[in-house]
Structure 1
Amino acid sequence: MASYIIGALSKRVLKESAENHFGKEDPYFESVPATNMFGQQKMKKRRRAAPEGISAHDAKILTKVKRRAYRLDLSLCNFCGIRFGWGSVIGLVPAFGDVVDALFALMVVMTCRQVEGGLPTNIQLQMVFNVFFDFVIGLIPFLGDLIDALYKCNTRNAVLLERYLKEKGQDNLARLEEGNRTVVTSGGRRPSVRRTNTEPPMHHDEPQRPSPARLPRENRRSNTSRSHRR
């Protein structure tokens, strides 16, 4: 009976189930085809790799956000098909626990904002709304804590960050491919630069041969006249 009520809440109220991870994708693991020792094909889970085209800094931030979100939302146990984390346990404390849980969720949002170039305003608003909704719902005794465990605001924010970085990485790869295409079409040559003749003249340190001595014009005329007289 309890599992039926939980399933109805997750499908009708939140429009999603625990099996499909928010109806779209698992932010932590991905399924890849593999072959067992008997040659049979099966799907194997592995940790989801960082999106291609992003920097090492952004990949590190994404890993940190996923690790914190997993601890807060999924790390403890599985009950009736729903995984619980430390955030669900902290939220059981009336009022004070919900405040602490919200502070931890805001710390995850602050970590998301440390990516290069920051986050767009609309994504930040979505993240803050997820935290606010999680906080307000958690104030309802028991039922609010149950919906809080289903909603998983930290994992939702991790998904938002990963989608943004994935689009950012695709843009970076497209820009890089366009730059390589431009170089190929130009034949790999750089634009020529005209050289001006403003360079200083070259000076050689080698000694030059002395030029032959020449007599003045008057002496040359007198010598020629003497030769004619003779």
Structure 2
Amino acid sequence: MTAIAQKIAGNAIKERMQQYAPVDPYYDEVINSKGKVKKVKRGVPPGLSARDEKILRKIRKRAHYLDKGMNLCGFRVGWTFFIGIVPGLGDIVDAGLNYGLVVRPATELDIPKDLLSKMLLNNAVSVAMGLVPLVGDLGLAAWRANSRNAHLIEAYLTIRGEEFLAQQGQAVAGTDRFQPEVSEHFSPGSGMHQAGMVGNGNGGGLGVSKRK
């Protein structure tokens, strides 16, 4: 892939990421008929293989519990916050959890090296923050590397799904086809097989042909 194509692909992911701060990657908040806020699990992007859909759900759930699965005096924190309080050892354990539970599963998605590097950089920032007593722990709770990485993966897979649907002749509102070399960057249809399914955004699926 040319450097120009890589830059275009990177900008596409960045535009998707602008939709998300490091908010909860697992739940959306909606207002019910009684005017109360209710949490609902996020749907998956359309056009994904069963493999990609399964791994994305797994990464989202793990990131949620690592980063903000509990309420501490009105502030959402996760297991990494409490583990990181333990001097020295806590930071090592956090780094291992961040990699093993979020980054490593992402490598099964056929993601490009530059995306993996961004995820590792987010984890490196977490490790650096953890070295600063007390203030660093608060910084970690705000930085939420796992949520950032989950959103990176979601942004990437969203474009992958759109590219696949476009190849199948299914228009995706608000999107344009990228040039072929950029499309290759997102591996449309990755993980599909003869009996595979692609998500329709609500956990359902559409039959697909065997991946070329």
TM-score, normalised on structure 1? 0.60
CA distance in 2: counterparts of 1:50 and 1:44, whole angstroms? 19
**Residue aligning to 1:104:** 97
CA distance in 1, matches of 2:162, 2:126: 32
After TM superposition, list the pairs within 5 Å mapping 1:13-162 onto structure 2: 23=21, 26-31=24-29, 34-36=32-34, 44-79=38-73, 81-107=74-100, 108-115=102-109, 118-162=110-154
Distance 1:165 1:137 in 2: 29
Higher relative contact order (CA 8 A, sep 6+): 2
Q: CA deviation at 1:121?
A: 1.6
Structure 1 residues 159 and 141: CA distance shift in structure 2, 3 A: same
Supply the RMSD in Å over aligned alpha carbons.
2.3
- CA distance in 2: counterparts of 1:85 and 1:51, whole angstroms: 25
What runs of 5+ residues in structure 1 fail to find an aligned partner?
Answer: 1-20, 180-230
Cα distance in 2 for partners of 1:146, 1:33 equals: 30
**Residue 114 of structure 1: CA displacement?**
1.1
In structure 2, relative to structure 1, the CA distance for the partners of 1:25 and 1:74 (3 Å cut) is closer
Could you say if the C-alpha distance between residues 77 and 112 of structure 1 is closer, same or farther in structure 2, counting changes exceeding 3 Å?
Answer: same
Change (3 A) 1:145 1:162: same
Residue by residue over 1:4-50, the C-alpha shift from the partner in whole angstroms, topping out at 9 and shown as x without a partner, is xxxxxxxxxxxxxxxxx9647642223456534xxxx7775421111
Equivalent pairs, count: 152
AA matched with 1:62 = L
| Cα pair 2:29 2:40 within 8 Å, conserved | yes
Deviations 1:137-193 (A, max 9, x none): 1111100011011101001000000111101000011110179xxxxxxxxxxxxxx
Provide the TM-score with structure 2 as the length reference: 0.65
> Where do 1:158-177 residues align within 5 Å?
158-177=150-169
Deviates more, 1:22-31 or 1:88-97: 22-31
Distance across 2 between alignment mates of 1:22 and 1:135? 23
Matched letter for residue 58 of structure 1 = D
**Matched residues in 1 for 2:155 and 2:124: separation?**
21
Residues 82 and 150 of structure 1 are in contact (CA less than 8 Å); yes or no, is this contact kept in structure 2?
no
Provide closer, same or farther for how the CA distance between residues 43 and 124 of structure 1 changes in structure 2, counting only shifts above 3 A: same
* Local SS of the residue matching 2:108: coil
Flag structure 2 segments of 5+ consecutive residues without an equivalent.
1-18, 172-212
CA deviation profile, 1:64-84 (whole Å, cap 9, x unmatched)? 1111111111112233x4311
Counterpart CA distance in 1 for 2:138 and 2:166 is: 44
Distance 2:139 2:22 in 1: 19
Would the alpha carbon gap of residues 34 and 157 (structure 1) be closer, same or farther in structure 2, given more than 3 Å must change? same
